[in-house]
Amino acid sequence: MNRRNFIKSASLASTALFLPKFVSGFSLLDEAIATGKKLVIIQLSGGNDGLNTIVPFRNDIYYKKRPSLAQQKSNLIGITDEIGFHESLIAHSNLYNNGELCVVNNVGYPNPNRSHFRSTDIWHTASDSNEYLQSGWIGRYLDASKSKSLDAIEVDDTLSLMLKGEQTDGIANKNPALFYKTTQAPYFKKVVEHHNEAHLSEHNLGYLYKTMVTASSSAKYMYETSKTFTTKTTYPNTGFSKQLKQVADFINSGLQTKVYYASLGGFDTHANQVNKQKRLLKVYDEAMEAFVKDLKEQDSFKDTLILTFSEFGRRVQQNAANGTDHGTANQVFLIGNQLKKQGFYNPMADLSNLDTNGDLKYDIDFREIYASVLNNWLDIDAKKVLGKPFSGLNIV
Amino acid sequence: MTLQEIVHIYYRVGFGISYAEATILQKESKETIVNELFNASREVKPLAIDISELTAKVKNLNMKDRKKLRSLIKDSTKKVHELNIAWIYKLGNTEQLLREKMTLFWANHFVCQDNNILHIQHYNNTLRKHALGNFKDFVIAISKEASMIKYLNTKQNKKAKPNENFARELMELFTLGRDNYSEKDIKESARAFTGWNHDFMGNFRLRRFQHDTEEKTFFGETGNFDGEDIIDIILKQKQCAKYICEKIYRYFVNDTIDDSRVSEMTTIFFKDYDIENLMRFVLLSDWFYDEKNIGTKIKSPIEFLVGVHRIVPMQFEKPRELIYLQKLLGQHLLFPPNVAGWKGGRNWINPNTMMLRLNLPSVLLANGPISLDEKGEFEDDFQRFNNKRNKQRKLKVLPDWETFHSQQKDVTLKQLQQTIIVSPLNSGTAAYLEKLETQDLKKYSIQLMSLPEYQLC
């Protein structure tokens, strides 16, 4: 029995002992032991300026539209004769050179919405732009695969729409030790034991009781499992790095969870964009460097796919405040060592063909990427999750 | 009114009520009780912390002195945290329940954030001033606030290059709701707000040369509109009244919209956009007291914290801990997650926040051994948690049990339960409470506040 299997059987046993009888209906663990693939989703919140992230440094339109914001070639990390990475993306350029990065350019959806919240909801729910869904694509993945709350963790204090299903929600947790401690008060256990299950379907009160039961059954498992692993990798001292370190701890300790979600905010650069974006991309890139290193050292990188998106890109034309306003299409990054397509999946956006707002016209619907990930990585029929047929891309 | 109805209205327009106060009110009519709530909120009592030292420094500031400027910004941010604490204590102690509850509502409607204490304190008091006033005056005043002008980039909105951020959020979040306008409406109205700016002290200034004086076409009307004209045209859309009424309904009545009730409200509100009239209509309606509307809303973290404080007044020795708690619970006042504010309802609750809420009354109020268990078992878990396991997070809170006892004289356990918990109890939990042998009001109150039912109001 190797270390990981040992941990799994140990935690199975302890969790089963801990659970009050009536909770058995909410049985915690999947029957199949979780050695499967992991998906880590990262959102650059606020709308990262993709055009200054991967830069077409030979494009005249780019320089014309961005007199004071355009990146000069000398600042970039060259990829091809025409395209360069932002200077902060050192780790990403290495991943690119190793064939561990796939960039899907100009990803968006029809009739783009330029509101952060609406567009984030669209990306989270995988809806059309005129369709309002109350559940997220990962939440519906939990539903369709009959998974448990624990199978999707958002490394944060509150749960985003993406992880909310019709029947099952994921769990938000960024500190398993603290979470576990709070479930250990004796009176709390008493309430858990005494409450009448018959009323769990009641409106908001039922929701509160259900959440309480899920919390008590998950906390111990997460805590006991993840504490068996201590990373040797040094992470930068940023909040985002801490999130990714927590994800690595979860994965490397053998937690059953299949999907993780973390986000890095602040990309809404309406004014004085250059330094802000440089700093944020550095935070993102350095955290990713440590994260990938950590996974590689534990041999879990081969089972992990990392998907980075932003709710929209920014307008091609810069504004008067040395910033950019809300735009439309943007890149999506896929990181892993089992990519079917390495490097650039498709050409850069066409800057000479903009919509009436002066924004990019998307080439690839973001749900094509979701479909590929669902079908080929998470092994589920994407149509069950997305509700519509998407043929997918040959990327993973 | 019944005891339950009184507890209900006081939870919704305030943070709960004691049994003693509620029994006095039981003799009064609904009209009298509602009138009293409005009368108590008549005056505007601003929230103010001492910033004289800071303003003196600002006056002598040489803008080229980068070092001083930086230290000033740091001081200012500290003061914003001070304002946060002062606000929470104000909520905990005010007699102007309705005005303060409305202020809290509007703070999550006209969402704004600013580290400039001078500007954000003014902003906060503008919310308070207009909380029960005329909605049009309110929108105009908010649009001219320095903090808002910065937060939504109005100051970068110039004739030569309009910045659409404010115009978009004005319609999407403040007045009409998503998709009730066109992209062209946004572009045109952004031009009307060009040149809107503020001076260093936060006073509104129109920068004439950056203002676009050309014709604009907005919602089918064409003219040489400025920002106030745009707001006027927006308010002519009945959708605006409807959007606000829906939000009020969700906040004060029920998460789930009842279209016919909202339509009654909209008719009232659309006439003159008088917020007080609208609220009076809601609180006097019969349906506000329908069973389906009582004890079914999930409390926000601030409602939860302030509610506990209203039962047992607390003093935080280390104000930072109160800020830490707000962050953990998911609502740090003056620091909204984004311009849409907190989503509220079930979004407050996930396994983490649920656990924290259930445990918090013991953490906050357990300044002595508490027995919460059946058959008098000794319970010291949270003391241990605070003392040993989590030294850095040791909460220093002084609960004022004397005030609690003086307010609860001759109150039975049953009566205490009826005023603390307004939602029906889960039958298993009710049976568990029956089994508790304690006759101690103090211990019983902590137990009640630690139930899932206490999360509802």
SS3 sequence, chain A? CCHHHHHHHHHHHHHHHHCCHHHHHHCCCCCCCCCCCEEEEEEECCCCCHHHCEEECCCHHHHHHCCCCCCCHHHCEECCCCEEECCCCHHHHHHHHCCCEEEEEEEECCCCCCCHHHHHHHHHHCCCCCCCCCCCHHHHHHHHCCCCHHHEEECCCCCCHHHECCCCECEECCCHHHHHHHCCCHHHHHHHHHCCHHHCCCHHHHHHHHHHHHHHHHHHHHHHHHCCCCCCCCCCCCHHHHHHHHHHHHHHCCCCCCEEEEEECCCCCCCCHHHHHHHHHHHHHHHHHHHHHHHHHCCCHHHEEEEEECCCCECCCCCCCCCCCECCCEEEEEECCCCCCCEECCCCCCCCCECCCCCECCCEEHHHHHHHHHHHHCCCCHHHHHCCCCCCCCCC
A396 pLDDT above the threshold of 80: yes
Per-residue pLDDT reduced to its tens digit, B56-105 = 888 888 878 888 888 998 999 999 999 999 999 999 999 999 999 999 99
Residues on chain B touching A212 (C-beta within 8 angstroms)? 351, 354-355, 358, 452
Say what the pLDDT of residue B394 is: 55
Q: What would the mean pLDDT of A194-219 be, rounded to a whole number?
A: 80
Q: Which of A129, A208, A322, A326 is the mutation pick for testing B, counting most B CBs within 10 A?
A: A208
Which among A181, A199, A207 has CB closest to B427?
A199
pLDDT at B383: 36
What pTM, to 2 d.p., does this model score?
Answer: 0.74
Count how many residues are written for chain B.
457
Residues of chain A with C-beta less than 8 angstroms from the C-beta of B387? none
Contact B428 A196 (CB under 8 A): yes
Distance from CA of A89 to the nearest CA of B (A): 27
Determine the distance in angstroms separating the CA of B350 from the nearest CA of chain A, rounded to an integer: 6
A·B CB contacts under 8 A: 160
Residue numbers of B between 340 and 369 with CB closer than 8 Å to A: 340, 346-347, 349-356, 358-359, 362
Task: Give me the pLDDT at residue B393, please.
Answer: 52
Specify which of A20-34, B52-66, B172-186 reaches the highest per-range mean pLDDT: B172-186
Contact B296 A199 (CB under 8 A): no
Q: Which amino acid is at A142?
A: L
What pLDDT score was predicted for residue A12?
37
**Nearest partner of B150 among B129, B135, B138, B165, judged by Cα:** B165
Question: Which of B222, B175, B168, B221 lies closest to B193, judged by CA?
Answer: B168
pLDDT in tens, A216-253: 888 889 999 998 998 999 999 998 999 999 999 999 99
* pLDDT higher than 60, residue B385: no
Note whether B136 contacts A: Cβ–Cβ < 8 A.
no
Q: List chain A residues with CB under 8 Å of B182.
A: none
A155, A173 contact by CB (below 8 A) = yes
Q: Give the whole-angstrom CA distance, residue A355 versus residue A289.
A: 36
Question: Would you call A21 an interface residue with chain B, using a CB distance cutoff of 8 Å?
Answer: no
Task: Please judge whether B359 and A188 are an interchain contact, meaning their C-beta atoms are less than 8 angstroms apart.
Answer: yes
Give all strands of the β-sheet with A83-85 in edge-to-edge order.
Answer: A54-56, A83-85, A77-78
pLDDT of residue A35: 52
- Strands (E) across B251-368 are located at 314-316
In terms of Cβ atoms closer than 10 Å to its own Cβ (0-12, 13-18, 19+), residue A12 is: middle
Residues A80 and A56: beta-carbon distance below 8 Å = no
Residue B31 burial (C-beta neighbours within 10 Å; 0-12, 13-18, 19+): exposed
- CA proximity to B104, closest of B295, B3, B282, B251: B251
Q: Per the structure block, which two tokens stand in for A3? A: 């270390």
Residue A201 pLDDT class (50, 70, 90 cuts): low
Bridge partners (DSSP) listed for residue B134: B274
Q: Residues of A with CB below 8 A from B160's CB?
A: 320
**Residues on chain A touching B347 (C-beta within 8 angstroms):** 158-159
Percent of chain A with pLDDT over 70: 88
Which chain A residues are Cβ-neighbours of B163 within 8 angstroms? Answer: 270, 319-321, 325
Q: Give A47: exposed, middle or buried? Use CB within 10 Å, 0-12, 13-18, 19+.
A: buried
CA distance A95 to chain B (A): 32
Convert the pLDDT of each residue in A91-120 to its tens digit.
999 999 999 999 999 999 999 999 888 899
Quick one: average pLDDT of A72-96?
Answer: 95
**Who wins on pLDDT, A384 or B381?**
A384
Q: Does any CB of chain B come closer than 8 Å to the CB of residue A211?
A: yes
Q: What is the pLDDT, as a whole number, of residue B92?
A: 96
Q: Which of A128-142, A360-374, B51-65 has the highest mean pLDDT?
A: A360-374
Contact A14, A224 (CB under 8 A): yes
* Percent with pLDDT over 70 in chain B: 94
* Bridge partner list, A263: A43
* Among B352, B382, B429, beta carbon nearest to A173: B352
pLDDT for the residue numbered B211: 97
Amino acid in the structure at residue B440: D
Residue B170 has pLDDT above 70, yes or no: yes
What is the number of residues in chain A? Answer: 396
Instruction: Say yes or no: B98 contacts chain A, CB-CB below 8 A.
Output: no
Q: CB distance from B296 to chain A under 8 Å? A: yes
Q: Quote the CA–CA distance of B422 and A12 in Å, as a whole number.
A: 40
Give the separation between CA B27 and CA B204, rounded to whole angstroms: 49
Q: Is A157 on the interface with B (CB under 8 A)?
A: yes
Let me know if A2 is exposed, middle or buried by CB neighbors in 10 A (0-12, 13-18, 19+).
exposed
Enumerate residues 167 to 196 of chain B having a beta carbon within 8 A of any beta carbon in chain A. Answer: 168, 172, 178-179, 183
- 8-state DSSP, B379: B
> Are the C-beta atoms of A173 and A183 separated by less than 8 Å?
no
B295 against A13, higher pLDDT: B295
Question: Which string of b and e fits B316-340 if b means at least 16 CB within 10 Å?
Answer: beebebbbebbebbbbbbbebbebb
Terminus-to-terminus CA distance in chain A, angstroms? 31
**Residue pLDDT, tens place only, A280-305:** 999 999 999 999 999 999 999 999 99
Contacts of A319 in chain B (CB under 8 A): 156, 161, 163
Rounded mean pLDDT, A349-365: 96
CA distances from B69 to B54, B63, B72, B83 (A): 11, 7, 5, 21
Q: CB of B3 within 8 Å of any CB in chain A?
A: no
pLDDT-derived band of residue A200, with 50, 70 and 90 as boundaries?
low
In this complex, is the C-beta atom of A181 within 8 Å of any C-beta atom belonging to chain B? yes
Which among A178, A203, A323 has the least Cβ separation from residue B296?
A: A203
At what angle are helices B351-365 and A186-194 packed, to 10 degrees?
130
B275 Cβ neighbours under 8 A, 6+ residues apart: B102, B130, B131, B132, B133, B134, B135, B138
Domain boundaries, chain B: 3-42+237-293, 43-132, 301-379+392-455
Average pLDDT over residues B298-316: 96
Q: Chain A: residue nearest B383 by CA?
A: A185
ipTM of the complex: 0.89
Q: Is the Cβ pair B379, A211 closer than 8 Å? A: no
The Cα of B428 is separated from the nearest Cα of chain A by a number of Å equal to 4
| A79–chain B nearest CA distance, Å | 34
Mean pLDDT, range B432-452, rounded to an integer: 88
Mutate which of B179, B194, B328, B355 to disrupt the A interface (most A C-beta within 10 Å)? B355
Question: What residue in B sits closest to A155 (Cα-Cα)?
Answer: B352
pLDDT of residue A202: 62
**Confidence category of residue B428, pLDDT binned at 50, 70, 90:** confident
What gap in Å lies between CA B435 and CA B422, rounded to an integer?
21
Tell me which residues of chain B, numbers 216 to 255, contact chain A at a CB-CB cutoff of 8 Å: 255
Taking the CA atoms of residue A229, residue A230, residue A234 and residue A238 in that order, the dihedral angle to the nearest 10 degrees is 80
Contact between B374 and A190 using a beta-carbon 8 Å cutoff: yes
Name the residue among B255, B362, B452 with its Cβ closest to that of A185: B362
Beta strands in A265-354 (DSSP E): 304-309, 330-335, 343-344
Distance CA(A235)–CA(B16), nearest Å, equals 47
Q: Which of B161, B255, B297 sits opposite A320 (nearest CB)?
A: B161
Taking contacts as CB-CB distances below 8 angstroms, the residues of chain B near A326 are: 164
Contact A231, A278 (CB under 8 A): no
Give the span between the Cα atoms of B448 and B302, in whole angstroms.
18
pLDDT-based confidence at A5, cuts 50/70/90? very low
**Shortest distance, CA A271 to any CA of chain B (angstroms):** 8
Q: In 3-state terms, what secondary structure has residue A373?
A: helix
- Tell me the C-alpha distance between B286 and B419, whole Å: 21
Task: Give chain A positions within 8 Å (CB) of B172.
Answer: 115
The mean predicted confidence, pLDDT, of chain A is 88
Closest CA to B58 of B179, B178, B201, B188: B201
* Beta-carbon separation of B351 and A114 below 8 A: no
State percent of chain B over pLDDT 90.
Answer: 74
Measured between beta carbons, the chain A residues lying within 8 angstroms of B358 are: 182, 188, 191, 212
Residue A263, helix vs strand vs coil: strand
